[in-house]
Structure 1
Amino acid sequence: MMYSSCKVLRRLASSNLAISKEVTRKCSPQLWNLLLQRCMSQINLEEAYIRTKQKCESKKLPQDVNIKGVFACNELDLKEVNVYGFDYDYTLAFYKSSMDFLLYRLGRDMLIDIYKYPSGIASLEYKPGFAVRGLHYDIEKGLLLKIDSFMQIQLGAVYRGLSPVSDEEVLDLYKNRVIPIAYLEPQGKNFQNVTAKMVQLADLFSVPEMSLLCNVTEYFIRNGIDYHPEILFRDVKNSVQRCHPVMHGIVENNVAEYLEENKDIRKVFDRLVAARKKLFLVTNSPYHFVDRGMKFLVGEDWCDFFDVIIVQARKPKFFTDESRPFREYNKKSGTQLWDRVHKLEKGKIYYEGTLKQLEDMTGWRGEQVLYFGDHPYSDLADVTLEHGWRTGAIINELTHEIETLNQPEFKQNINWLQMLTQLIEDHQAQEEPHSQAVVQKWIEERDELRQKIKTVFNEQFGSVFRTFHNPTYFSRRLFRFADIYTSKITNLLNYSVNHTFYPRRGVMPHEYSSYFV
């Protein structure tokens, strides 16, 4: 668009670049041309912004994502699957928020009673919604932080106790945003004996553990108590783990208070059995705890659905050990029999064992097996990498995440964020100072928008699956080790037992943004 000098002058006079009449009258032709260029540049930027904003507002919002959908990371043809395996906790059984409060309270009390922590921490209450799954804890620096798939720290999502750590301090502590792989995953030939400097808290049982860890850290800081971050981490972790047997007894005595009812699980089992599929259960939980829960969820005859039931499997060692034998579990006495197990029989309960022996005794191998678990690494990594099983992840947080994604305001904000980012990229080479100032305002608007999008998921840490724009480290592992993932096992009822799940063709940076005009 071309402008006359009069039009430019009027725009100039109405803008923040207005110049007094005296200066305008006395300026040289060279200065006048510079002023015209300066104003034209700002006018062009303003119009580019307005056009982009109008285009965004007129853009049709994406369709809602199906909350009960099953999402594919890798192509999976269910016709090839003859055997379905399941974890129990947070795969078949989902717990109410009362479970988080229970684990937190038991762990806190054990810190006081067993580890002799100050009695003052008894007043520290569980903070629901503080943490999300998949965060890392730096056991040297005592920080809880969120890391993306490129091993970069998400600034603004780093906490010491309950207090956010400034970006400046984070960069001072780590020297840059990228965390070395050795910090996250032990390396080398003897990596089993090496402790990583950061620990990922990747299952839902770890959420109250993170809250307890941060609460106690905050208590120590506010009361001027010197502490060692690694000792605190290990004491909290051990306390929560040691209280699990107590938790099991409490839940068994009042299962309805802690377990979410879901009668559709029986429909899943009925459909698979009718299709002549084999079913097995491998869980770390003890038999009586699983039995009470499954009777509540499925019915008194729940064992009849399964061809093999393995309890107290001690995953992930169940997947990696080779020599640990199966033992038959006596349901009446609650003890393990000493007899050698030559084969796995339906109707019996087995204890420990290994995946290799499971394969050898059943003949179930490779792509004919589909195993569901809630922990992308401990449940799914070894079975897919070492044994070629197909895998499904049950990620309960998907329900909240998708409900948020489906909100019209969120969709509009995402559209505008993408278009504003492109606008910044297209005009970032402006050399004129006032034009640079305009682009800087856009960058500030983008930062505010990204923060707004983050906090709708979780005030402190944002989405389980994304940092500001990259997938999280949790997502990296999920997409690598799970062929499919969904929020609940019962979502399978929306698909045929012969369904093929196809992954979405992702757009690489060098490809078209869309194949449709």
Structure 2
Amino acid sequence: MDYTLIHYNVMAWEGRAYDYGMGNLKSMGFLVDDLEFDPDLVIRGLIMDKVKGNLVKADRFGYIKRVMHGTQMLPTRAVSEIYGRELVDLRKEDTWEFLNTLFSVSEAVMFMQMVDKLDQGLVPAELGPLDYKGLYNAVSKALFRAHVEGQLKSEIMAEPERFVEPDPELPLALLDQKEAGKRLLLITNSDYHYTNKMMNHAFNRFLPNDMGWRDLFEMVIVSARKPEFFQISHPLYEVVTEDGLLRPCFKANSGGLYSGGSAQMVEKSLDIHGDEILYVGDHIFTDVSQSKVHLRWRTALICRELEDEFDALIKSHAQKEKLVTLIQQKEIVGDLFNQLRLALQRRTNSRPAQVVG
């Protein structure tokens, strides 16, 4: 649901997560009053090095190409000295933390800013000797408290218009799919109360004929506990009242609203398997990797950041054509220069020069 069916204003959502997280760090004794949320500091797909206090960009083979220590970019030579030919191995979870979703933005911003504080000697001594990994653990704990204590979600549920960027076409697009014979499922880690509140706000006003968001989906599963949902069979409960009352059940049926369960249960209940299912999500690891690896589901990744990239490509079309022309001219001039240089070398050594015109 989050960042797939409902797109949030990153500055609003992650800004408030940052505020709550920094408030928790302050209560621990960290000096954070001079820090502000900077959403342009990081982007999804980067990787935090929890041991060295770096944010790194790796290529498809895992080689590290660019590095930011704290909030400062490092020159290429420094990158080579620090990492050499070291490869990023995301299986080493004690070292690397991948930014899978836009929910990772506030955590990465907090960590990089606190690395600066540690380097500047501005971490109070009474907090004990902290290395970068200990600092990351403190940041992670502070953000975890912000989510677990429920303050952030309570604020969002109270004023969803502040945080949600509505898309009137999305509910209608799902209705088109349903009317074309597709069977739609909603599987989210959010609990029922949050899911119902946010889907009501984002969908119901755009649906025709007094339809509600539940009418779009053949099955809804909340508190799914992904990625375990794709690998482990958790107890299944049916949500039986608007207040979210649960009762145990052993089989999911079409039209039902459930909590927990597993992906295998979904396949069995709907009698569909593997590549008959297209799973759409925004989490690079959970939504794309795990469902494909363990279940052979087809996957689609929602990556809103590509919208800006696409717009830039369209707007730069004329410049691209000009650049291609200049590159072709450069190749012709470069080829002629190489031939002339070879001719000069041969004549210098008293050999006949042959230059192809």
Query: Same fold per TM (> 0.5)?
Result: yes
1:158 aligns with 2:67: yes
Q: What is aligned with 1:195?
A: 93
SS in structure 2 at match of 1:121: coil
1:281 aligns with 2:186: yes
Q: What is aligned with 1:235?
A: 138
Q: Closer, same or farther in 2 for the Cα pair 1:284/1:420, shift >3 Å?
A: farther
Larger Rg: 1
For residues 334 and 144 of structure 1, the distance between their equivalents in structure 2, rounded to whole angstroms, comes to 41
TM-score, length-scaled by structure 2: 0.83
SS in structure 2 at match of 1:327: strand
SS in structure 2 at match of 1:123: coil
SS in structure 2 at match of 1:328: strand
For residues 333 and 139 of structure 2, the distance between their equivalents in structure 1, rounded to whole angstroms, comes to 46
Please say if residues 56 and 67 of structure 2, whose CA atoms lie closer than 8 Å, have aligned partners that are also in contact.
yes
1:217 aligns with 2:111: no
CA drift of 1:329 comes to 2.7
Q: Closer, same or farther in 2 for the Cα pair 1:224/1:333, shift >3 Å?
A: closer
For residues 123 and 335 of structure 1, the distance between their equivalents in structure 2, rounded to whole angstroms, comes to 44
Q: What is aligned with 1:169?
A: 78
For residues 6 and 273 of structure 2, the distance between their equivalents in structure 1, rounded to whole angstroms, comes to 26
Q: What is aligned with 1:52?
A: none
For residues 98 and 334 of structure 2, the distance between their equivalents in structure 1, rounded to whole angstroms, comes to 34
Q: Closer, same or farther in 2 for the Cα pair 1:122/1:172, shift >3 Å?
A: same
Q: Closer, same or farther in 2 for the Cα pair 1:164/1:354, shift >3 Å?
A: same
Please say if residues 8 and 163 of structure 2, whose CA atoms lie closer than 8 Å, have aligned partners that are also in contact.
yes
Which of 257, 277, 283 is the matching residue for 1:349?
257
For residues 96 and 319 of structure 2, the distance between their equivalents in structure 1, rounded to whole angstroms, comes to 33
Give the 5 Å matches for 1:72-221.
88-96=1-9, 97-113=11-27, 116-118=28-30, 120-154=31-65, 157-176=66-85, 179-180=86-87, 183-186=88-91, 195=93, 197-221=95-119
Which of 192, 195, 198 is the matching residue for 1:290?
195
Q: Return the letter of the residue paired with 2:182.
A: K
CA drift of 1:102 comes to 0.8
CA drift of 1:412 comes to 5.5
For residues 417 and 151 of structure 1, the distance between their equivalents in structure 2, rounded to whole angstroms, comes to 33
For residues 137 and 296 of structure 2, the distance between their equivalents in structure 1, rounded to whole angstroms, comes to 34
Please say if residues 328 and 341 of structure 1, whose CA atoms lie closer than 8 Å, have aligned partners that are also in contact.
no
For residues 388 and 285 of structure 1, the distance between their equivalents in structure 2, rounded to whole angstroms, comes to 24
CA drift of 1:221 comes to 1.8
Q: Return the letter of the residue paired with 1:384.
A: K
- Identity of paired residues, percent? 26
1:391 aligns with 2:299: yes
Q: What is aligned with 2:238?
A: 328
Query: Which string of whole-angstrom CA distances, capped at 9 and with x for unpartnered residues, describes residues 293-329 of structure 1?
Result: 11122117111111111111111111121x3221123
SS in structure 1 at match of 2:287: coil
CA drift of 1:370 comes to 1.1
Q: What is aligned with 1:57?
A: none
Please say if residues 404 and 410 of structure 1, whose CA atoms lie closer than 8 Å, have aligned partners that are also in contact.
no
1:403 aligns with 2:311: yes
Q: What is aligned with 2:349?
A: none
Give the 5 Å matches for 1:355-370.
355-370=263-278
Runs of 4+ in 1 over 4 A off after TM superposition: 416-432
For residues 290 and 393 of structure 1, the distance between their equivalents in structure 2, rounded to whole angstroms, comes to 21
Please say if residues 53 and 112 of structure 2, whose CA atoms lie closer than 8 Å, have aligned partners that are also in contact.
no
For residues 95 and 72 of structure 2, the distance between their equivalents in structure 1, rounded to whole angstroms, comes to 21
Query: Which string of whole-angstrom CA distances, capped at 9 and with x for unpartnered residues, describes residues 139-177 of structure 1?
Result: 1111101111121222xx31111112232222222233x
Give the number of aligned pairs.
Answer: 328
Please say if residues 109 and 122 of structure 1, whose CA atoms lie closer than 8 Å, have aligned partners that are also in contact.
no
Query: Which string of whole-angstrom CA distances, capped at 9 and with x for unpartnered residues, describes residues 8-41 of structure 1?
Result: xxxxxxxxxxxxxxxxxxxxxxxxxxxxxxxxxx
Q: Closer, same or farther in 2 for the Cα pair 1:385/1:127, shift >3 Å?
A: same
Please say if residues 331 and 349 of structure 1, whose CA atoms lie closer than 8 Å, have aligned partners that are also in contact.
no
CA drift of 1:123 comes to 2.5
For residues 138 and 229 of structure 2, the distance between their equivalents in structure 1, rounded to whole angstroms, comes to 25
Q: What is aligned with 1:60?
A: none
SS in structure 1 at match of 2:284: coil
Please say if residues 108 and 212 of structure 1, whose CA atoms lie closer than 8 Å, have aligned partners that are also in contact.
yes
Q: Closer, same or farther in 2 for the Cα pair 1:277/1:169, shift >3 Å?
A: same
Please say if residues 230 and 295 of structure 2, whose CA atoms lie closer than 8 Å, have aligned partners that are also in contact.
no
Please say if residues 252 and 293 of structure 1, whose CA atoms lie closer than 8 Å, have aligned partners that are also in contact.
yes
SS in structure 1 at match of 2:154: helix
For residues 338 and 164 of structure 2, the distance between their equivalents in structure 1, rounded to whole angstroms, comes to 57
Query: Which string of whole-angstrom CA distances, capped at 9 and with x for unpartnered residues, describes residues 211-266 of structure 1?
Result: 11111111222235463111222222232233223221111000011001112122
